[in-house]
Amino acid sequence: MMKPIYIVSGLPRSGTSMLMQILDAGGMPVASDGKRKPDRSNPKGYLEVESIIDKLKDDPDYVFNFEDRVLKVIAYGLQYLPPGNYKLIYVDRNIEEIMDSMEEMMRAKDEERDDTKKAFIKLNNKAKADIKEREDMQVLFVDYNEILFSPKKHLEEIHRFFGEKSLDLERMIEAVDEKLYRQRRVR
């Protein structure tokens, strides 16, 4: 049996970088080329491989270079994952917060916000439906907002999901930084 490939996914600005930071703090090796530097939108870094979707489009087997590390692949890129053995955590977030975060990141109002929002909802629904259909994926759906409001409960679930990895749950919990939750729409 193939070793699992660990994936973190979700829509852009849904909290995938936060989850990568949490896993990194807990001792999970992360796949990151360091090319995208921390910035005001992600002061703790993105922890990603640049152009991963293009690389997977060109050579789907590229994903197998990341055994024993967690790789971030946003929702759109999941369709390019070849058959394998995946443990995937999918991050959901309030769609209005995602839209607000994108506008803040771009420092511009999205004049087509309603259309962008509809496209993101459609992509999110399709990605989650596709994941559920795949027999080669174990998936855990998590909610960005819930992780921030009660990290211990939700990170324990992630800790169990990656049970074959020895992760430091306390360090994972300490990595949650509620100060970085800036586009609030819930609670």
Query: Tell me, what CATH number does 110's domain have?
Result: 3.40.50.300
Query: pTM for the whole thing?
Result: 0.90
Q: How far apart are CA 75 and CA 79, in angstroms?
A: 8
Residue for token pair 């994952």:
81
Number of domains in the chain: 1
pLDDT computed for residue 182 by the predictor: 46
Is 11 among the domain residues?
yes
3-state secondary structure at position 23:
helix
Q: Which regions in the chain score pLDDT beneath 70?
A: 1, 41, 43, 178-187
pLDDT computed for residue 186 by the predictor: 56
Domain that holds residue 115: 5-180
Q: How far apart are CA 22 and CA 28, in angstroms?
A: 9
pLDDT computed for residue 179 by the predictor: 56
**CB atoms inside a 10 Å sphere around CB 35:** 10
pLDDT computed for residue 155 by the predictor: 93
Is 72 among the domain residues?
yes
